[in-house]
Amino acid sequence: MRRLAATLALLSLTACIPSVQAPRGRPATAETPERFARCVAMMRAEGSKVEALPNRSFDNGCSATSAVKLVAIGIPVTNLGAVKCALAAPFARWVREDVPAQARRWLGGEVVRIESFGSFACRPVNNQTGNRLSEHGRANAIDIAAFRLRDGRVIRVRDGWNGADGDIRAFLRALHKAACARFGVVIGPDANAFHHDHFHFDMGGGPYCR
């Protein structure tokens, strides 16, 4: 009985110790034509104008499957190519709902254009030779760099994240926080030097928000 009691006490103590392991990635959802069709239909029902793209795969491991072209999602976004529908759907909601709300709250203005560094790009993580394939190489990532307001102001992640204007800092942090509720992985300037000038969103794993 004493041995059993000691074992139970040890198990109880172990359960209270936080794990030091990194969070596991979300289980991958198999892509099927049916899931893709439902995703496209849902985006259109929510008000997005999208064009379904044919699947593309390349010899070096890059691919753009179950992807769409974002034609109109409320605010124009520059430089976007193919985007997996599973990423495009929450991105369109972030653009339509979070960006306007935070611009009104913190800047008293209206965002009329969002500038991105792109979506699909066949390259390794952080564009560093030897790294694993980036989610950009699967059309499963978007990088956001700046927001242009109707009054002519341009809010850049590079300048504003740690800039002197408190409202701009609050605006960018509010958008970063909102993104963390929508995407599997969100990486910003506080994560590393590679992201000092943009927000990276992807659905390749997580949850990770930094």
Q: CA 177, 70, 36, 123 torsion: positive or negative?
A: negative
How high is the pLDDT of residue 28?
55
CA distance readout (Å), 11 to 8, 14, 18, 57: 5, 5, 13, 48
Contacts of 113 (CB under 8 A, 6+ apart): 75, 76, 77, 78, 147, 148
How high is the pLDDT of residue 6?
38
The C-alpha atoms of residue 168 and residue 28 are separated, in whole angstroms, by 36
For every one of its 210 residues, what pLDDT tens digit does the chain have, with 9 covering 90 and above?
433 333 333 333 222 222 222 333 444 578 999 999 999 999 999 999 999 999 999 988 999 999 999 999 999 999 999 999 999 999 999 999 999 999 999 999 999 999 999 999 999 899 898 889 999 999 999 999 999 999 999 999 999 999 999 999 999 999 999 999 999 999 999 999 999 999 999 999 999 999
How high is the pLDDT of residue 39?
98
Chain mean position to CA 178: 10
Given a contact cutoff of 8 angstroms between Cβ atoms, the answer to whether 5 and 13 are in contact is no
Q: In the chain, what are the domain boundaries?
A: 30-209
Total-model pTM: 0.86
How high is the pLDDT of residue 127?
86
